Amino acid sequence: MTNPIINTIEQRSTTSLYDASRDISNAQVTELARLATLAPSAFNLQNWRLVAVRSADAKARLRAVAWDQPKITDAAVTYIVCGVIAEHSVMPDRLAPVVAAGIMPQEMVPGWTGAAKSLYFEQPQRARDEAVRSATFSAMTLVLAATSLGLGSTPMIGFDPQGVSREFGLAENEVPALLLAVGYATSENWPQKPRRPLSEVLEVV
Amino acid sequence: MTNPIINTIEQRSTTSLYDASRDISNAQVTELARLATLAPSAFNLQNWRLVAVRSADAKARLRAVAWDQPKITDAAVTYIVCGVIAEHSVMPDRLAPVVAAGIMPQEMVPGWTGAAKSLYFEQPQRARDEAVRSATFSAMTLVLAATSLGLGSTPMIGFDPQGVSREFGLAENEVPALLLAVGYATSENWPQKPRRPLSEVLEVV
């Protein structure tokens, strides 16, 4: 039953300590972001944006609004993974390339747009949930891609969202859903933590 | 640069049409759930629960509160992926196995519990965000595990959350974050849809 994906899922663990002397290339920073955006999103909304914090100055500014966590300055990069508040008016724009590629018939676009409107229009909690969901789909994809390349990764929620938005000029409709550090882990990190028994978390009906 | 994980991420696409004649085993339903729970969660909260909808009766009840989507009755299983509203009082319970395994020193438990309290206590939006985030981390992990086993998968948000909660007896603090169908795809499904140019979604600072 084991295969490389399952091995990666089983072996992944969250990195706490990074080797600050080892960088990754700009090409890797970009490639990881590209892979993250291959994650699924509702209606192909792709309502995410990544700010890759790479420079010493930017890392210091991020650390100052993120509980002073050393990971942020030690890791090669920390992505601010933003979800964008879901909104149906972008749908024709997001679906046009799908139509142009011959995948989706043009006649389906109004139906999808209407479905998105029925979910999000004047439904701020649902629109925010969608932002967090899409951002997290992309973040988890990035985590497993990084693991497969021998890199450590750290999803983080210990930060001041207003501070992050201000320091990095996030738009009104962008929710910083999590921070995600990536880089080379030192050998002293913890292994994957034990999980709750499956009987507590799975019900089959 | 390609490796099996990256290939899987690149080749995954959301399934719309399932072969209703092909089932998966109960062991696979359980194994996919186990892999999903190896996803990361804040403070190792593991604030997720999966209801695997397998029986014809349960599928019909779910379809009735999920926009009548045929995927739900055609797919081998649809997981109701729930996030649990994050709450710091469960932390000692969730961390005890980590301490028992010799990974985490007991002295760290109060600090982690306090950090979780500072984030979630009397912060309902943050606690809900954490529910959606944890559920989505586990769902994305399940999607890639399913893909690696040759199975199609479909994250779905088109459903009535109150109806799902009522029909499947979800607790007050459980948010049905998404539905996730899994099964054998037919050959007529769409390929992965084109993505926005990376320049629109990635900023490096």
Delineate the domains of chain B, giving CATH numbers in brackets: 4-184 (3.40.109.10)
Chain-chain contact of B198 with A144 (C-beta, under 8 angstroms): no
Does the global pTM surpass 0.90?
yes
pLDDT value for B1 = 53
Q: Which whole number is the average pLDDT over B52-57?
A: 98
Neighbours of A11 (CB within 10 A): 11
Neighbours of A70 (CB within 10 A): 12
Contacts of B27 (CB under 8 A, 6+ apart): none
Query: Which chain A residues have a beta carbon less than 8 Å from that of B130?
Result: 157
ipTM: 0.98
Residue A110: C-alpha distances to residues A23, A88, A182, B106, B193 (Å): 46, 10, 40, 56, 17
CA distance A123 to chain B (A): 13
Query: Which chain B residues have a beta carbon less than 8 Å from that of A48?
Result: 201
Chain-chain contact of A140 with B145 (C-beta, under 8 angstroms): no
By C-alpha distance, which of B189, B173, B161, B170 is closest to B71?
Answer: B189
pLDDT value for A1 = 52
Neighbours of A10 (CB within 10 A): 13
Nearest to B132 among A14, A40, A133 (CB): A133
Query: Which chain A residues have a beta carbon less than 8 Å from that of B34?
Result: 198
CA distance A82 to chain B (A): 10
Chain-chain contact of B140 with A145 (C-beta, under 8 angstroms): no
| DSSP label of A53 | E
Distance in angstroms (rounded) separating the CA atoms of residues B12 and B8: 6
Q: Which amino acid belongs to residue A100?
A: A
pLDDT value for B128 = 98
Nearest to A37 among B29, B44, B198 (CB): B198
Strands A174-183 and A202-204: unpaired
Would you give per-residue pLDDT tens digits along chain A (205 residues)? 579 999 999 999 999 999 999 999 999 999 999 999 999 999 999 999 999 999 999 999 999 999 999 999 999 999 999 999 999 999 999 999 999 999 999 999 999 999 999 999 999 999 999 999 999 999 999 999 999 999 999 999 999 999 999 999 999 999 999 999 999 999 999 999 999 999 999 999 9
Residue A124, Cβ density class (10 Å: 0-12 exposed, 13-18 middle, ≥19 buried): exposed
pLDDT value for A7 = 95
Determine the length of chain A: 205
Helix (H/G/I), strand (E/B), else coil: A111: helix
Provide the token pair at B88: 């710091």
Residues of chain B above pLDDT 70, percent: 100
Nearest to A201 among B12, B37, B97 (CB): B37
Instruction: Mark A142-169 as b/e (b = at least 16 C-beta within 10 Å).
Output: bbbbbbbbebbbbbbbbbeeeebbebbe
By C-alpha distance, which of A35, A139, A38 is closest to B141?
Answer: A139
Helix axes B124-148 and A124-148, enclosed angle (nearest 10) = 50
Helix (H/G/I), strand (E/B), else coil: A51: strand
Distance in angstroms (rounded) separating the CA atoms of residues B154 and A103: 17
Instruction: State the average pLDDT for chain B.
Output: 97
Distance in angstroms (rounded) separating the CA atoms of residues A84 and B161: 22
Could you report the per-residue pLDDT of B16-53, keeping only the tens digit for each? 999 999 999 999 999 999 999 999 999 999 999 999 99
Size of interface A-B (CB pairs under 8 A): 213
